[in-house]
Structures are given as C-alpha cells and as structure tokens.
Structure 1
C-alpha cells in the first residue's frame, strides 16, 4: 500500500508536467489559425514578433514563477504549492478561449508558463522526498515521461479535435490535476522543517505502508532528522583513526559550535560554501543547460513546421503524433533502465545518438541525397535518443544530488536557468531558420550534443542504488559505503 501511495503522489505531481507538455506544443498546430489573414479567432492576425512570443512566452512565465517557487514550497508545503499550480493553468486556457485580442492571448500563454515553472520545481522535490530508494530513479523520471505524454495528447487533439474542444479538454485536465493534488498527504520532510514531528511520522507511515510506531517508520524519521542536519555535509568527522578518537572529536566544545553555526546557516550560504552542494550544482547546471541547447524544445514547439520542411510529402499531423509517441517511449525507457544500467551510461549513450542524428539530419536536409522519409525517421530517432537519457537524466540528478536544506533553492535556480534558455532558444529559433537554414541549426545543436558526451564521461557521477548520504560521500570524493 505504501508504494501505491508513492505512485499516487508521482501521478498527481506528473499531471502538472502533462499539462505543461500540452501547453508547450499547442502553437505547433494552432499558429496558422492565428496568423491567417482570414482568422476568426482574433480581431487581426498575429505579427511575426507576436507569433514568436506565442511559442516562447510560457518559458518566460515559468522563468518568473520559478523565482518564488522555492519560497512557496517551503512556506505552503509541497502539496499546497502543487495545488496552486492549477489556478494559473485554468486561467490560461480560459483567457485563450474567451479572448479576441492578441494581448490577452499572449497573457494567457504567460500565465500558463507561471504554472509550468512552479510544478517543474514542486514535482521532483515532492517525489524525491517520499520515494523509496529502490524505485526513486523510476519515479524521478515520471514527470518528464508525463510531459511527453502531454505532448502526444496535444498533437492527437490538434489532429482530431476542433479548436473549442481542445480548449475545453485542457480545462478538464486542469481540474483533474487539482483534484489529484488534493488527494495526497504532505511530505514528511516539509513537516519536519516546520518542527511538526508527529505529523511527519504519520506521513512517513502513510507513504511507507507501516504503522506509526513501527521500527521502519521510526528509523526513517531518525534518518530524515539526521539528513536535515547540515553539519554532516559541511564538517566531516575523521574516522580513519580509532573510534574513541572520533568520539573525542565529537565531544570537543568547538564541534558543538560548528553544529550550531551550521544549523543556523541559510540555504543560499550552504549552496555557496558547501563543496558538495557546489559540485552538485555545477554538475546539474552543465548537464541541464546542454540538454536544452541540444534543441529538443524548439523542435517540439515547431514540430509541424519542421516536418513540412523536412518531409513535405508526408502528413505533418501524422509525423507530429509519431514524434510524440517516440518521445514518450524514449522517456519511459529511461524510467525503466535508469535503475538498471545507471544514470551515467544512459546520458553518454543518449548524447552520442543525439549528436549522430543531428549531424545526419543536417547533411540530409542540406544535400537532399536521400528520400524525405529517411529525414523524418532520423528526427524520430533523435527524439528517442534524447529522451532515453540526455533529456531525462539531468532531472533525475536534480532530484538526487542535493541535501534537503538546499534542494528547493537549487531546484529553483537551476530550473530558472532552464526556462531562461528555453525562452531564448524558442524565441530565436525562427530567426535561426532564416539565418542558418534548418540544416545549419541542426549542426549548431550537434555541437552541444558533443559537449554533453564529454560532460557525461568526465563530470556526471553514478548515483544508481545510492542513498542520499552515499551520494553526498560520492560528491566529496570518498568511497561509497
């Protein structure tokens, strides 16, 4: 029953990512409705700049909301912060449905981005705090997998439903997201942060499937309390000598001063001055930036346009749905294999596949030496390779590498970086197509794929099967015990 409840939380959190996937690719099949000279949706067609903003504004909204998402998580709690995401999601689709003005349309897209930014911080934090170690890798990839499912559902709706039915279906998903988030209990980590030990123990019992007074629950409570003491992170006690010498070190009055000072240290100072937190931040920042710069998001947003250019003889709607199916299958494969093969092999192998596909796509589209369907197949292989590791593993690392004291702050800063890069990349992608051509854009993305291979080899640690404490030891350069 405990694991079922962990899956329930994962589903509730991941539905926010599902809604994000729908929101992000929605312009792929509706942009022409807004730019057509005889459009009935707006009083006048969108300009080139407004068309660019239609795709990129959700990233800007997410960038803004990510700045206060960490504060929301630590003030309202993981569950209530997730519930708050449903409100801007709902307002976004209502504005899009009711507006005949480009300004209100773009405002709706911006509000949707606000919700995306919060749920992208809230989901990984909440899931990592309640997941068992044995299934943590699989559950940590679920939000990314549901994002891909959202992309698939969005493309299918664009192919089969009218404009109004698409909007109403999305409103239903927003209500469902709120209902699922209401049904889950608060994270024990947040309850301990608020010094509510009794409720924290009940939360642990709920998510582990044991009675409140059972030994596993008490051990987990003790482990969480110890994990939330930052002195272990910043001041390691040498045990290379005799055990009694280590005990004497603990009895040293200076040691108590260190404990008290570290417990009072704010999260931003821990992130700046703790060597392991700094290293974790560097690793995730590099891998998460490179996965954005490999070009998957603009390919998603402009999938229909790209397929029209890459394979004009094929149905762009069908290609877009296949694109989303492959995206989802790649991410689910990562969820299954990340706990079997490890994070490091997945990100290296995935990045190699992505780089080769990008180079192949660029060559084929520049030279036209092969039939159009081969280019379309390469785009699909690119999607699978990306989601199999390079696009998913950085978010697993984001959930795993940080101690609880800095988890919310680090998630906020790193996702802020992601949204900023997404906003810039999606915004400039139409101009990249005009300046470099689609093949030149793919060559540029391939450069970042190559850099990600090197990052996977030399930078990314293997965290498969390790507890939070063992991961911190790994980041310190000590052997895993």
Structure 2
C-alpha cells in the first residue's frame, strides 16, 4: 500500500500511471498466452483434440521449454536494441513476436507450428522484462514505482486466469482471433506517449527531453496570465524545473552517460549485484513459481485430487491474481524483503506439505481428504509466490543493478533467467509424470530454502532507491 501522503491520483502521477497501464496491456496479453498453454496441452493430447495430428508427452515438454529459448533470444535481441534504439521503439517492437505466437497457433498444421509459436511467445517475454522495466523506471517516481511495476504481475496473472478459462469454454481457433486485438491496441495507445526524458537527453534532444519530463511529471508550462497562476502551480513548476535540471546533470555528466567498459561488470558493487540477482533468478524459476502456471492443469491431473483439474486450475488462477494484487498494495508499505521472505517461507511449507501428503497419506486418508488437501496446498503455494516472489521479482532486479550498467546487466540477468526457464520447463514434465509430485515438490522446496537463506543474509532492501544514481 502506498504511504498515506502519496495520493495515487494526484496530477504528478497521472501520466506515469497511464503509461504503466498501457504497458500492462502487453503483460495481460502475455499472461493470456501463458495461461492458455496449460489446459491446451492437456486438450491436444486427448482424443478430443482439435488438431489434425497427435501430440506426445515429449513434444509437450518441447512446447513448454522452447519458451525458454525464445526468452533467451528476446533477452539478447532487446539487450542489443535497448540502448541502440529509442526506448519507445523498443516498446513498439514487443508486440510483434506476440502476434506471431497467435498467428502460428491459428494456422497450425504440425507440432512445429506450436514450437515456433512458443518460441515467439518467449521472445516477447524476454523483451517485456528487459525493455519495460527500464522504460518505467525512467518515468515513474520512486514513491509509486514498486506498486506500478508489481501491478504488471497482477495484469499478467489476470491474463493467465483468462488463458486458463478460454480453452475450456470456446473453440481452439477462436482464441487467437480474440487475443490478437490486445497487441494491436497496445501499439495504438503507445503512440500517444513520448519517449523517456533520459533517452532523449542521451541523444542530445534537450528541449524534447524537458517536454517529456513535464508530460510524465504533470508539470504544466503553458503560458498563462501571471494573475491566473496559483501558488501551488508556481511551486510545482519551479520544483519540476529544478528536478529536470538535476536529472540533466546526472544523465549528461554522471555514470549513466559514461561509456560502459568490460571492467565495469567486474567492480565489487557490480559483482555483488549480479550475485544477488542470479540467486534471486534461481529462486524465481526453480522454486517452480513459473512452471506451476504452465503445468497447473497437469499437476492437478497427476495428483490424488478428485476435483476437476480445469476447475482447480481456474480457482488457483484467481488466487494468483489476489497474490499479485496483495503485492501491488503492500510493496511500498512493507518493502521488498518482507514480502519476499514471507512469500518464500509459505511456499516452502506448502510445497513440502503437498509432497508429504501425496507420499505418506494412506488410501483411506486420500479418499477422505483428496477433494481439498492437494488443492489447498497449491492454493497456498500459488498465492504466496504471487504475493512476494512473482509479484516483485522484476522490481527487485531493476533496483539491485547498478545504474551505469543497468540495461546491459538486466539483459544478462534475463538471459540467465531464460536458461533457467528452458531447463525447468523441459524437465518439469519428467519430474511430474516420471518421478511424481513428492519428488517435484521436495526439489523445488529445497532449492527455495537454500536461495532464501542466501538472500535473507546478503540482499539489501531496495525500496526508495534512486534509478538515476547509485
């Protein structure tokens, strides 16, 4: 929740919020694609498949894991373009691989179409988590930065929920037609927003940079009769001009404007930041928080739960939204660390509890409690992962990295995430269907314990950190 003296709808924040909401259109669209895969892979393996060809478990694992290759490619691609092209052009580019994802799924003729579609979905994901955090961090005030960036995960979760539902309610070929409207809407709306002031300053467009700064900070410099200017307006304009001059000084003379060299990545502060970030990435992916969303229906189908797996998936999807909403509301009040460690502690309890129930509960116990116990454990795991780890991951990563190498370091970090994504999505079906739920949950829980201990000891709080200077 925002501090009491930070009214969210004050004039200064309006355009920042509108730009964030525009970006979140793509988060919602991306979440829709992620959620759609979970029930769809079950449907296309069933006798009632809408496709003209069979899909095996091994092919399903490739459908899942090729997202990781796409994520890696997106990180590399947008890591190269983020500082070579304008921030806004990069924002436009995010929509096109996502469109290809749905187009390929609509015109599918073989499993290779599904592979390629998931690859392009991964490219979009890689770009979303490189370009957008940088863009937003440059225009959003620190008082609302955590809330607006965490809100992205809430929109993604809403998309995931709709993605869970659509394949069970409408025809396979209708979903792509509906989903394509979202990236088109996103591109149109982005047209109405200017480039970030920092990007314009780096390219030497000082007047445009000041205009963009005024736009995003709600500063009105239109010429008015002197008698019509209120004291508050005058004070706001003066403060805004002072802020812009400070920003200009930082960008043009500070670390952010100095060419990045190789040794910058090996400075003590950079190495510490990379260590914290990489451990956080391992926790984010190998705790299973993302894999759960991709294989949720399969998890319930493989468990002893007697609830309908599609219904269970939908309800858990709602809990994921509630978790990300919780993160959005309380990240600025409690800070990043508190939410993260409360989240991971509850996740660990839930995963070990789920695994223990599946392993040790007798037939009589399962007959009596299987209706709700597996579902309850997954509800706890998914809600708590969303409320701290999933909801605030990208906020924390952006804030941890040093300003001078932030864009490049973020791309490197996301490349690392993409490798983790590929591994977890490739081996998760093997763990789930061959080793069973207990081994799957114990492994994810053990990784969560080790990484949480490290982060608790070494990772600092990043709430309120400046995005323009270290």
TM over 0.5: yes
CA contact (8 A) 1:227 1:404 kept: no
Cα distance in 2 between the residues matched to 1:267 and 1:277: 12
User: What SS is found at the alignment partner of 1:283?
Assistant: helix
CA drift of 1:48 comes to 3.1
| Structure 2 residue 27 is the aligned partner of structure 1 residue 17 | yes
CA contact (8 A) 1:268 1:409 kept: no
| Structure 2 residue 424 is the aligned partner of structure 1 residue 415 | no
CA contact (8 A) 1:342 1:462 kept: yes
Matched residue, 1:348: 341
CA contact (8 A) 1:291 1:452 kept: no
CA drift of 1:93 comes to 0.8
CA drift of 1:409 comes to 0.7
Cα distance in 1 between the residues matched to 2:221 and 2:272: 37
Matched ranges for 1:251-262 at <5 A: none
Matched ranges for 1:30-429 at <5 A: 30-36=40-46, 39-42=49-52, 44-212=53-221, 214-228=237-251, 264-266=258-260, 268-273=262-267, 275-368=268-361, 369=365, 371-372=369-370, 373-429=372-428
C-alpha deviations, 1:416-467, integer Å up to 9, x for none?
Answer: 1111101110111111124421111100011112123313321221122343
Structure 2 CA distance for partners of 1:267 and 1:375, relative to 1, 3 Å: farther
CA contact (8 A) 2:354 2:377 kept: yes
C-alpha deviations, 1:107-140, integer Å up to 9, x for none?
Answer: 1221222122111211111111111121111012
C-alpha deviations, 1:155-190, integer Å up to 9, x for none?
Answer: 121232221221211111221222222232211111
Number of residue pairs the alignment of both structures matches: 440
C-alpha deviations, 1:253-289, integer Å up to 9, x for none?
Answer: xxxxxxxxxx64425542333x333322221221122
Cα distance in 2 between the residues matched to 1:230 and 1:205: 21
CA drift of 1:407 comes to 1.8
Cα distance in 2 between the residues matched to 1:230 and 1:292: 38
Structure 2 CA distance for partners of 1:119 and 1:30, relative to 1, 3 Å: same
Cα distance in 2 between the residues matched to 1:396 and 1:455: 19
CA drift of 1:205 comes to 0.1
Cα distance in 2 between the residues matched to 1:22 and 1:135: 26
Matched residue, 1:240: none
Cα distance in 2 between the residues matched to 1:231 and 1:12: 30
CA drift of 1:309 comes to 2.5
Matched residue, 1:259: none
Matched residue, 1:241: none
C-alpha deviations, 1:390-433, integer Å up to 9, x for none?
Answer: 22333112222334432211111111111110111011111112
Structure 2 CA distance for partners of 1:141 and 1:434, relative to 1, 3 Å: same
C-alpha deviations, 1:49-105, integer Å up to 9, x for none?
Answer: 322111221221111121121222222222221111111111221111012122223
User: What SS is found at the alignment partner of 2:463?
Assistant: coil
Structure 2 CA distance for partners of 1:21 and 1:283, relative to 1, 3 Å: same
Q: Relative to structure 2, which stretch is displaced further, 188-197 or 155-164?
A: 155-164
Higher relative contact order (CA 8 A, sep 6+): 2
Cα distance in 2 between the residues matched to 1:114 and 1:195: 31
Cα distance in 1 between the residues matched to 2:397 and 2:189: 24
Cα distance in 2 between the residues matched to 1:268 and 1:12: 35
Cα distance in 2 between the residues matched to 1:68 and 1:407: 16
User: What SS is found at the alignment partner of 1:163?
Assistant: coil
Structure 2 CA distance for partners of 1:231 and 1:73, relative to 1, 3 Å: closer
